[in-house]
Structure 1
Amino acid sequence: MNVLVGNKLRMLRKSKNMSQEEVADYLHISQSAYARMENGESGSWAIHILKISKIFVISPEELLIIDDKTNNGSSSGAVTQLSKKVIEQYEERIKELKKVINDLKKKNENKM
């Protein structure tokens, strides 16, 4: 799934005549981290989906819609699987952030 989104990112970036470095700077990540997203080696695009949508002037849903040019013949079920994967990644991130918040609250309580 990351490959499908990565292909879409590459297509969008090239349509805007932008370099990987320019997109990476906008996202406040390294060029190599962005390259991993485009190559499908990283799912961190999900964390940056709102900024990605803004830079390419698309809705987040448009990033997840995979057309024939992007998926090279993959089944339409890939979109559903991709949506589920995004939800799972966000849920995991929310769990991580809740743990960080609880840890910070405990630290703050111990200081008082």
Structure 2
Amino acid sequence: MSMMKKMAVAALVAFMMAGVVQAETLTQVQIRETLANSANSMIAHKSEILAAEAIEQSGGKTDAYNGTCCNGLWQIQTGNLKSLNITGTEYREMSVEKQAEIYLKLQNMESRR
């Protein structure tokens, strides 16, 4: 990767880690690199699979909404977000890292049932 490209990715990662979100479509590499730099070790460890799932679910669109029920990079159902007192709009406006954190939290809740 060229130095200029590395700098652009680093700037994007810093921007996203700050929680400042601008709706955009990210590549799998951008999502993976953002998550790999997470302070949350679980997110960092699972960055490769999380990025692949995000691309499959939303095409990398940070503010994706399917028109009926599902939100964000990982297309979380509105009802599941409500269980955490989060609206679909709030979720879609969250940083990539925060969306991943909530996605993993909901997966963990589901696996305990």
> Which of the five TM-score ranges fits, normalised by the shorter chain?
under 0.3
Of Structure 1 and Structure 2, the greater helix share is in 1
Q: Larger C-alpha radius of gyration, 1 or 2? A: 1
Per the normalisation by structure 2, the TM-score is 0.27
